[in-house]
Structure 1
Amino acid sequence: MRIILHGGAGGIPGEPEPRQAVLDDAADAGASESDPLSAVETAVRVLESDRRFNAGVGGAVQSDGVVRTDAGVMLSDRQVGAAAGMEGVEHAVSVARAVLEDTPHVLLTGEPAVEFAADAGVETGVDLFTDETRERWANADAPDGSPSEHLAWLADRFGGSTSDPTAEAGDGYLPTNEGTSASGDRSVRNARLPGHDNSEETSAGSDRSARNARLPGHDTVGAVATDGETFASATSTGGRWFALAGRVGDVPQIGSGFYASPAGGASTTGAGEDIARVTLARRAVG
């Protein structure tokens, strides 16, 4: 089994060695599985359980003080499943797999997705806060009232777009991060960079890289695996800090946060709105 994975774009970590050790453990766990879908699920579950990454435990907090998780998985034969907006679900990637295997649908959201997760045997009701995220939220001067009041509050806090949303593909427009791809030269390049912490390879230029260092909360995780015949991709996230309650980014959107085809697989990380605007994962695979 061949597998590559990433721990997300965002600010450069103060202690990269512990993060790298977790990534190495996740890669080893995934590589030991017998099929690509199990490989990416197993690897991502390791990262979802580690507070250093913005997926599962330690996820970003939305404007109503809730951590909501999203994930998606896909196989190169077009089997696909995703889940979004789940409160208290650590292993969103396992819910996405259950959607793929147990339903005729491709995406479940919100409280019904949480109920489905519980019925599928995925643990729910998990406290996704860490000491660090709880302290950060406590100091955030949280808003009350209507969505419009929340929007006014997050105007100076949410990262916003890092690219021109009106630009067309082919006009020199590149979303924030290329993500992880298991096709062509990107496979070799990303296999050497499992951490993906604000490197040149995951940023569209040094200016944008510096800008992302000021925008914490991009640390979406993902993996791509192949047994030489089938590709599988998976991406999981806790979203972005101080987003409007209910916001869903690129991660659970097929072709944006994740994608797989006979040509390869991709998992993206970065500013979700920018990635979704150009369905980046599908473009990366080709």
Structure 2
Amino acid sequence: MKRRKFIRNTAAGAVGATFAISALSCTDKTKNPSEEKTPMTKSSPKLPLAICTWKFTNANQVAGEALEAGKLALDAVIEGVSVEEQNLKNTTVGKGGAPDREGNVTLDACVMATNGDCGAVMAVSSTSHVAALARKVMEETPHVILVGEGAEEFATLKGFESENLLTAESEKAWQEWLKSPEYKPLINIENHDTIGMLTMDKNGDLAGACTTSGLSYKMKGRVGDSPIIGSGLFLDNEVGGAVATGMGEEVVKTVGSFLIVELMRNGMSPQEACEEAIRRIVSKNNKYKDFQIAYIAMNKAGETGAYCIHEGFSMMKYQDKKNIEVPVNFYHKPS
């Protein structure tokens, strides 16, 4: 079904002048040491290509091998992120994810296809396969987003098996948290709440997915950036794509993934665009030392980039049949 193209032309035209000015401002040669470049902008354009947030080695390997086997970008990206949705040791994605303050695990996800179609689900508590469910929303409904009970009823209709997402380990950790509850997620531990992945298949076509259980011990009903097209994920098959991870509230405020794609449209490399997106956040929030945000991106030339606020984030990159962890440069470098 081709009924839902993500509306970007009007938005791009409306903000084009603003982005052009921003792009020009970023050519300033007087950059401080916290704005150093990484060599990722010089990566080979050889296809296929898969990148994902954090050291989700197996997930990225599965996606890369699917691409090598000739699968399309969307099929490969959903296969890849599903690995972490089923990984019970991952407390920030899928089954086994940390619950909210009431002890309920709820999942969010979105996907975006080569042709610009997109789908998302939010606050799902009945199935761990939320990226695949978001694809069903995209392809088999007239909508882009389904939430809560509506998303769960749709999952049942489409044959998704109902499951208990709260594992014994997650419940035990939640019970321990209740003894001295404090909502202050630990950087790089409790707030790296996402696997975001971008794939480019042998045809040079892009797709992306983002899936998460959200921040540990979040308020009931909280939704972050991950399932929001333009924030947690955005791509344009003529330009490139980007995904985000970290404190979603701050990503939403700057529509970070959309921003990165538009900056690439205006001539920035993926690395330069990720750095500018991080600078937008830290320049507007003097509390940036208290939270982590990271972006990864790729363009149609096969170049990749990544940047984050704090040390400790890395991304996976599958290319030329090699799946490697790529260390990522960061903004905040305490003296």
The TM-score normalised by the length of structure 2 is 0.59
Amino acid at match of 2:243: S
RMSD of aligned residue pairs (Cα, Å): 2.2
Q: Does 1:133 align with 2:170?
A: yes
SS at match of 2:207: strand
Q: Structure 2 CA distance, aligned partners of 1:272 and 1:67?
A: 17
Q: CA deviation at 1:133?
A: 1.3
Q: CA deviation at 1:114?
A: 0.6
Determine the structure 1 residue equivalent to 2:71: 34
Superposition map of 1:248-267 within 5 A = 248-261=223-236, 262-267=238-243
Shift of 1:34: 1.7
Alignment equivalent of 1:232, drawn from 191, 199, 207: 207
Quote the offset at 1:101 in angstroms: 0.3
Q: Which residue does the alignment assign to 2:126?
A: 88
Change (3 A) 1:250 1:114: same
1:62–1:244 CA contact under 8 A, matched in 2: yes
State the distance in 2 between where 1:108 and 1:30 align.
29
Q: 1:279 is aligned with what amino acid? A: V
For 2:48, the equivalent position in structure 1 comes to 2
Aligned counterparts of 1:26 and 1:217: Cα–Cα separation in 2? 24
Partner deviation per Cα, 1:62-96 (whole Å, 9 max, x = no partner): 11110000100112422010000001210100110
Give the residue type in structure 1 aligned to 2:48. Answer: R
| 1:80–1:21 distance in 2 versus 1, CA, 3 Å | closer
Q: Is the 8 A contact 1:232 1:260 kept in 2?
A: yes
2:272 paired with 1:246 = no
Secondary structure of 1:133's partner?
helix
Does structure 2 retain, via aligned residues, the 8 Å contact 1:74–1:232?
A: yes
Could you say which residue in structure 1 is the equivalent of 2:109?
71
- What is the rounded CA distance, in whole Å, between the counterparts of 1:136 and 1:241 in structure 2? 10
Q: Does 1:157 align with 2:183?
A: yes
| In structure 2, C-alpha distance between the alignment counterparts of 1:222 and 1:38, rounded to whole Å | 15
Tell me whether 1:50 sits opposite 2:96 in the alignment: no
Contact 2:107 2:128 in 1 (8 A): yes
Flag the 1:29–1:129 CA change in 2: closer, same or farther, 3 A.
Answer: farther
Post-superposition shift, 1:267? 2.0
**Distance in 1 (alpha carbons) for counterparts of 2:99 and 2:67:** 28
Deviations 1:108-142 (A, max 9, x none): 00011011011122222x12223431211111227
* Structure 2 Cα separation of the partners of residues 23 and 230 of structure 1: 17
Equivalent pairs counted in the alignment come to 213
Q: Which has the higher contact order (CA 8 A, sep 6+)?
A: 1
Return closer, same or farther for 1:121/1:233 CA change in 2, 3 Å cut-off. Answer: same
Question: Residue 197 of structure 1 aligns with which residue?
Answer: none
1:116 is aligned, of 154, 161, 173, to: 154
Q: Residues 121-169 of structure 1, C-alpha deviation per residue, up to 9 Å, x if partnerless?
A: 2222x12223431211111227xxxxxxxxxx96x3243xxxxxxxxxx
| C-alpha deviation, 1:20, in angstroms | 3.2
The Cα of 1:33 is off from its aligned counterpart by 5.2
CA radius of gyration, larger in:
2
**Secondary structure, counterpart of 2:187 in structure 1:** helix
How many percent of aligned residue pairs carry the same amino acid? 32
**Is the contact made by 1:257 and 1:268 (CA closer than 8 Å) also made in structure 2?**
yes
Q: Secondary structure in 2 aligned to 1:135?
A: helix
Q: TM-score, normalised by structure 1?
A: 0.68
Q: Secondary structure of 2:51's partner?
A: strand
Task: Report the residue type matching 1:267 in the other structure.
Answer: V
Structure 2 unmatched runs, 5+: 1-46, 263-335
1:104 aligns with 2:142: yes
* One-letter identity of the residue aligned with 1:157: Y
* Superimposed CA distance per residue, residues 184-223 of structure 1 (whole angstroms, 9 cap, x where no aligned partner): xxxxxxxxxxxxxxxxxxxxxxxxxxx723x514231121
Distance 2:120 2:167 in 1: 25
